[in-house]
Amino acid sequence: MIGFLIQRVLQALMVVIAMSIIVFLGVYAIGNPIDVMIDPASDQALREALIQRYGFDRPLFEQYFIFMNNMLHGDLGESFIYRLPVLNLILSRLPATLELALTAMLIATCLGIPLGLWAGYKPDSLSAKAIMGFSVLGFSVPSFWVGLLLIMVFAVELGWLPSGGRGPTTEVLGMNLSITSLEGWSYILLPAFNLALFKLGLLIRLTRAGTVEVMSSDYVRFARAQGLSEGKVVSLHVLKNISIPIVTVFGLELGSTLAFAVVTETVFNWPGMGKLIIDSITVLDRPVMVAYLILVVFLFVMINLVVDLIYGQLDPRIRVKAAS
């Protein structure tokens, strides 16, 4: 297991380095933030002074190594627009995105897996067909339209839940969280369900397909012949054997939810990282853009690393194959 872990960590490190180069080159290849930062009527002397101040006159590879050296020391630069350290700016928005993404994945997992199991266990039943019909909505309906519909029904017409914002927060372990109170939950339910809808449909269909395949396998027939109850057959044999693709999808979707919650955050006015990156792209705030994208890469790599380690625990053959 230690060799398997070392191999995966080294692979993750190489991916982070490679992606940091791609992100840095990609961001610095688009536009010139000086054109946004100063008045077009400003003289050339002011323009040259700003270029020299921010190091834009240096070769690109030198700018990259300076950025990487500063990043390794915990300095991601200063925002051109907000005039704040980028790390502090991102960390101030990260808790809101984290709790929204984790709540959405919790909803998708707690509903998607049981519904998918039932749809695969009774594939010809009316309830299974209704579940699969509902799962299609998660793929086919745009999330912004669903968000507006949820606001119209539950906030405007019924008045049960607030239409947007984050609500009151409580500091927990240095992070401001809104899920510590009932009022905070009332603010997060609509955006979390809207964000979870696609993941919910995906997990339902994935779990259902795996269940149908496993239910017809020989070891399930043998378990039934031994007299095991249907509950034990499903929990011990079916769920365990379909867990690897579910873990894979969960890890990938968690990463994408953290990185690309921008539509939901915009519709529900949720003050997370998605709103920050859209504003930064609009004004070419390079330090924020680079730091955000590298953070996203790091989150994806770490999530995939954890998923790989979970693979090794679920199926020891993966560890043996990787070691060989």
Chain segment 133-179, per-residue pLDDT in tens: 888 887 788 888 888 888 999 988 888 888 888 878 887 777 778 88
Burial class (CB in 10 A: 0-12, 13-18, 19+), 45: exposed
Of residues 54, 93, 56, the one with CA closest to residue 77:
54
Task: Quick: pLDDT tens for 215-229.
Answer: 777 777 777 777 777
Helices (DSSP H) in 73-125: which residue ranges?
A: 86-121
* All residues at 6 or more sequence positions from 47 whose CB lies less than 8 Å from its CB, including other chains: 34, 38
* Domain extents in the chain: 91-272
Query: What is the DSSP secondary structure assignment for residue 59, as one 8-state letter?
Result: -
Alpha-carbon distance of 93 to 116, in angstroms, equals: 34
Determine the CATH number of domain 91-272.
1.10.3720.10
Q: Which residues of 115-146 are buried (b: 16+ CB within 10 A; e: fewer)?
A: bbbbbbbeeeeeebeebbebbeebeeeebeeb
The answer on pLDDT for 209 being more than 80 is yes
C-beta separation of 113 from 209 below 8 A: no
Alpha-carbon distance of 134 to 317, in angstroms, equals: 36
Q: What's the confidence (pLDDT) of residue 231? A: 75
Alpha-carbon distance of 270 to 292, in angstroms, equals: 17
C-beta separation of 61 from 20 below 8 A: no
Q: What percent of the chain has pLDDT over 70?
A: 89
C-beta separation of 297 from 290 below 8 A: no
pTM, 2 dp: 0.75
The answer on pLDDT for 213 being more than 60 is yes
Task: Quick: pLDDT tens for 5-21.
Answer: 777 778 778 887 888 78
Q: How confident is the model at residue 316 (pLDDT cuts 50, 70, 90)?
A: low
Q: What's the confidence (pLDDT) of residue 288? A: 83
The answer on pLDDT for 320 being more than 60 is no
Task: Quick: pLDDT tens for 49-92.
Answer: 777 777 777 777 787 888 788 778 777 777 877 778 888 888 88
